[in-house]
Structure 1
Amino acid sequence: MNKIGLFFGTETGTTRLVAKKIHKLLGDELADKPVNVNRISPDEMLRYDSLILGTPSYGVAEIPGRSAGCLEPNWEEFLAQMGNADLSGKRIALFGLGAQERYADRFAGSLIRLYQALAERGAEIVGSWSTDGYVFEHSPSVVGGRFVGLVIDQRTQGMLTDQRIEAWLEQIKPLLLERTAKAA
């Protein structure tokens, strides 16, 4: 597939909102419209070589899904359907949501779980993000001093969302397009 696939899990709709902002900046020529993972099969996602995937934070650093308290299927159920699918050759950028003031001790904790699940299946993860400008005590999603993907706090830093998305896309777009060019 020679476009970037854009998929998300959501419970309240905020992750969907961020995915739509990302799509608007990339445009229809570079990325397909964002789709909730509870509306597709793994095969539909796996046809892309470059992906942007988004997750809310739910539970205590849990993958969002019914066992974490979500009312609708989310990443937990999608990954279960995916099984041990081989993601070698897939280049994936991740974004996650969190509330740094409310959950300062586990800020954006679900992002690391999605990262781990994809890396274990052989995906190449790109798009780590600086922790500068965030105020929190701990995040399991910080590896080597950086978040494993873009982190958005719509609750307390919503005014920074667009700026953060734009800067992150400048970083990841060439990497994702390089992979889509090889697939074309």
Structure 2
Amino acid sequence: MTTWTIAGDLTLEPADRRTDLLAPPVAQALAATGSDQPVAVAEIDLELADTAAFCATYGSPLDASANCVVVAGKRAGEVRYAAAMVLATTRADVNGVIKRLLDVRKASFAPMDEAVSLTGMEYGGITPVGLPDGWPVYVDRAVADAPELVIGSGIRGSKLFVTGAFLAGLPGAQVIDDLAQPAG
């Protein structure tokens, strides 16, 4: 198994052996990827799923955490969805880059209940692995280039450890330069 330098105090296991720590769509997608990239999972306290609390408690660096945001926009009465993967130290450019990529007039974060319902994942654990078919996954270049990342697992009680190359290779993934801006 890969040695993950960003794991802090966590015990990691191969994700395919601990599907109980994954939302069902995530487990199904991982089984179907056929990727040779390593994917590990670690159980965490679900009250510590938010990135800042997770990093502070478990000793994982904030700049190695990537967040998945679900964005929605309308065009000709049709709602278009996408996911964006950005480093936790940055903010997704929703009303610039993502709006243009989705080809909509206005883009915004999808409402929490909508994002949860559509993805089959828990709020605070949504991940690009296992999203609905046809959704684009916009991956910021800094995320794609990262050798190690911590991301959601579809539930609040665990985290996935992946490479940027794994995320860039997901179905529907597009690596985008300047998808995110530094957090203010």
| Same-fold call, TM cutoff 0.5 | no
Q: Using CA pairs below 8 Å that are at least 6 residues apart, which structure has the higher relative contact order?
A: 2
Under a length normalisation based on structure 1, what TM-score does the superposition of the two structures give? 0.29
Under a length normalisation based on structure 2, what TM-score does the superposition of the two structures give? 0.29
